[in-house]
Chain A
Amino acid sequence: MNATAENIQTETRTPLVEMRDISIAFGGIKAVDHASVSLYPGEVVGLLGHNGAGKSTLIKILSGAYPRDGGSIMINGEEANINNPRDAKSYGIETIYQTLALADNVDAAANLFLGRELLTPWGTLDDAAMEAAARKVMGRLNPNFRRFKEPVKALSGGQRQSVAIARAILFNARILIMDEPTAALGPQETAQVGELIKELKKDGIGIFLISHDIHDVFDLADRVTVMKNGQVVGSARTTDVTKDEVLGMIILGKCPPGAVPGPGAARL
């Protein structure tokens, strides 16, 4: 009874993001097959699944990197028209890609503001202002960061990752997509990212967290959605399921009683 009551309660709120029946195929292979996920303000949703389960692809549709073949995306209950990364950004969707997607040959500030440069009144690049803003945001994320003048190619993996994260939070995102945000980070920096996620949650930002590390996800996420072979196995609150049950969802596609099954759930 409790579970149903809660479901009704959540459904009365308007989700920040609702992706419905999303499909995309690459050369006949259905990378994402009628997948639906939702995200509420101030919520962290972990997207889990094997390599090739379709979680990164699904999220790239939301960030505008891939055009979808079918389905719809609702932002704040209204149909959103996302055809490229510019569209996504205009809806306040920021993404930290697994590959980081940094331009290696320019410095941190240029990367932070790539596509949204600060300009002087004469229409030229205001590099000094951008560097100042970069110093501020990097100071919050990675206080030891000093290498503002060097191309990001010269930075360590962790420093590069903090540049990518800084870029996502710099522009007051409402929806944040983090694809393996801690993959290149040491334990201390990973903890810092965890703190950051909690802070952003408090500001009412919705976060999709994609990770292969189930422990990370359980620590940070409010809900998990598991994908397998391009389909959603099921979604569950992290309080309603155990790690073993989620592992079962990932590996076997077996939906436990505490989860809402999706189209990809194994018929038992």
Chain B
Amino acid sequence: MNQISQTSAGPGLVEEGAVRRFLRATEIDTRMLGMFGALILIWMGFQIYGIVYNGNGAFLTYRNLWNLSVQTSSIAVMATGMVLIIVTRHIDLSVGSVLGITAMLMGVFQVWVLPQYLGLGHPMIWVLTVLFGLAVGTLIGAFHGVLIAYLQIPSFIVTLGGLLVWRGAAWWVARGETISPVDANFALIGGGPYGSIGYWGTWFVALLGCVAVVLMLASGRRQRARFGFPLRPVWAEVFLAAISAALIVGAAFIANEYFWPVGIVKQYAAANNITIPEGGLNISHGFAIPVLIAAFVCIAMTFLATRTRFGRYVFAIGGNPEAAELAGINTKRMTMLIFALMGFLVGISATISSARLNSATNALGQFDELYVIAATVIGGTSLAGGMGTIYGAMLGAVVMQSLQSGMVLVGFDSAVQQMVVGGVLVVAVWLDTIYQRRVK
């Protein structure tokens, strides 16, 4: 195996700086580094702005970072599906409206329909509601997919129509009525003090995450060693493991440092006969359930995109649809499935959004399509197709949400917020095209 220990780049690149050597050894995506840099800049920017103009930096607080994580979940889940859609050279403008109709139907189902048969507060209500919502989302997505793949209507038109149709339908389901409150168990999916996994749960999940990272790196290395392919230097593997573990542990620490509000603690103490000690009782939130759902979706979608046939075909179709067809891939069926998967993910997001709001309204998810597409594109998915990553889209969602809630926090007008978000999207794509050209 020693004869191929040299990496594939060839002798022309031997003389390179320490930074490049480091990046190449660790195989870190420079674009992702750039995005991390941008994110840190945004965070620091809001913090400093808050300190200078408002007298307190409200952004980099445990509370805000925890809230940010919850607010990002819904968009992030949908962005992972949008990656596959855009990679295959399609677009989905309807996700916000599909979220609206799905959430409305789930609201009606769990508040008006199920209690009639099961009784109010039955423990199965939330399970049936979630399954119902996922099925509705998947069916709507599959329906779009059939129109796009088999009737060959451009996805832009199908989903533009869907944007109007499903928003109208969301109103029509309950004549514009807001359905609230939702089932108490269902509401936990949206986060909040009770919808979080607490101190020890969070450390357990963090530990699990660290172990998984190490196992993944190890198995990747073993796999490559089996065929005698070039391996990363050991220090690079250790570095990657350490940095990933640090990020996970850091997130867990932040989530655990955000304590329950005093009112909730009192309520909880009264209900459980606990006396609150002098100086208050600190109960950690820990990771919120929607954040864990989003993290799980990210892992599952990354797996799907990179380790399965389905994902391979998605990228092949995006790179050259004709070649994919000639290679024997059933591109029509794939298109249909990709849109159905998008619908399924919208179903998850509809669950998170309506649970978080503790109600279903016909306006839920309005403009989400724009945030989802923006997150995906900022995350490095090329509108020309064939390129994109799930983790990039997740990061893009965090960037978008940071901008959004940061501006709310420092007190920008909503008019200014819109202008900034729009401008950032255009600039981000412009920077990306420059990056693309330079890579070539």
Q: Hey, which bits of chain A sit against chain B, CB under 8 A?
A: 63, 65, 84-86, 89, 95, 97, 99-106, 110, 114-117, 119, 123-125, 127-129, 131-132, 146-151, 153
Question: In the complex the two chains form, what is the Cα distance from A268 to B381 in whole Å?
Answer: 62
**Cβ A102 vs Cβ B224 within 8 A:** no
Question: In the complex the two chains form, what is the Cα distance from A63 to B328 in whole Å?
Answer: 10
Q: Which of B8, B307, B315, B326 contacts A149 (CB 8 A)?
A: B8
B438 on interface, CB distance cutoff 8 Å:
no
Q: What is the chain B residue whose CB lies nearest that of A154?
A: B440
**Given A105-B315, A105-B386, A106-B315, also A128-B226 (CB < 8 A):** yes
> Would you give 17 A-B contacts (Cβ < 8 Å), ordered by A?
A85-B325, A85-B327, A85-B328, A103-B320, A105-B387, A110-B312, A110-B316, A114-B316, A114-B327, A117-B309, A123-B308, A124-B303, A124-B307, A125-B307, A132-B227, A132-B229, A146-B8
Q: Hey, which bits of chain B sit against chain A, CB under 8 A?
A: 8, 10, 223-224, 226-227, 229, 303, 306-309, 312, 315-320, 322-330, 386-387
Q: How far is the CB of B50 from chain A (nearest CB, A)?
A: 42
Most buried by B among A65, A106, A116, A123: A106
Q: How far is the CB of A49 from chain B (nearest CB, A)?
A: 22
**Cβ A103 vs Cβ B315 within 8 A:** yes
Q: Hey, which chain B residues are within 8 Å of A128, CB to CB?
A: 223-224, 226-227, 229
Main secondary structure on B side of the interface with A: helix
Question: In the complex the two chains form, what is the Cα distance from A110 to B223 in whole Å?
Answer: 17
**Cβ B227 vs Cβ A147 within 8 A:** no
Q: Hey, which chain A residues are within 8 Å of B319, CB to CB?
A: 103-106, 151, 153
Q: Which of B226, B309, B327, B386 contacts A101 (CB 8 A)?
A: B327
**Cβ A101 vs Cβ B227 within 8 A:** no
Question: In the complex the two chains form, what is the Cα distance from A115 to B330 in whole Å?
Answer: 9
Q: Hey, which chain B residues are within 8 Å of A150, CB to CB?
A: 8
Most buried by A among B226, B227, B315: B227
Q: Hey, which chain B residues are within 8 Å of A86, CB to CB?
A: 328, 330
10 interchain residue pairs of minimum CB distance: A105-B319, A105-B386, A103-B319, A115-B328, A101-B323, A103-B316, A115-B327, A114-B327, A86-B328, A132-B227
Q: Hey, which chain A residues are within 8 Å of B327, CB to CB?
A: 85, 101, 103, 114-115
Q: How far is the CB of B302 from chain A (nearest CB, A)?
A: 12
Question: In the complex the two chains form, what is the Cα distance from A147 to B8 in whole Å?
Answer: 6
Question: In the complex the two chains form, what is the Cα distance from A150 to B7 in whole Å?
Answer: 12
**Given A110-B316, A131-B227, also A102-B8 (CB < 8 A):** no
**Given A65-B326, A97-B326, A101-B322, also A129-B227 (CB < 8 A):** yes
**Given A103-B320, A105-B387, A148-B8, also A131-B229 (CB < 8 A):** yes
Q: Hey, which chain A residues are within 8 Å of B322, CB to CB?
A: 99, 101
**Given A103-B315, A128-B226, A150-B8, also A95-B320 (CB < 8 A):** no
Q: Hey, which chain B residues are within 8 Å of A63, CB to CB?
A: 326
**Cβ A102 vs Cβ B323 within 8 A:** yes
Question: In the complex the two chains form, what is the Cα distance from A103 to B89 in whole Å?
Answer: 14
**Cβ B326 vs Cβ A146 within 8 A:** no
Question: In the complex the two chains form, what is the Cα distance from A63 to B223 in whole Å?
Answer: 36
Q: How far is the CB of B383 from chain A (nearest CB, A)?
A: 14
Q: How far is the CB of A8 from chain B (nearest CB, A)?
A: 38
Since A124-B303, A128-B227 are in contact, a sample of 19 more A-B pairs with Cβ atoms closer than 8 Å, ordered by chain A residue number, is A65-B326, A84-B328, A85-B327, A85-B328, A99-B323, A100-B323, A101-B326, A103-B323, A104-B320, A104-B386, A105-B315, A110-B316, A114-B329, A117-B312, A119-B309, A125-B307, A128-B223, A128-B224, A128-B226
Question: In the complex the two chains form, what is the Cα distance from A132 to B224 in whole Å?
Answer: 10
Q: What is the chain B residue whose CB lies nearest that of A113?
A: B312
Q: Hey, which chain B residues are within 8 Å of A117, CB to CB?
A: 309, 312
Q: Hey, which chain B residues are within 8 Å of A125, CB to CB?
A: 306-309, 312
Q: What is the chain A residue whose CB lies nearest that of B330?
A: A86
Q: Hey, which chain A residues are within 8 Å of B224, CB to CB?
A: 128
Q: What is the chain A residue whose CB lies nearest that of B322?
A: A101
Q: Hey, which chain B residues are within 8 Å of A151, CB to CB?
A: 319
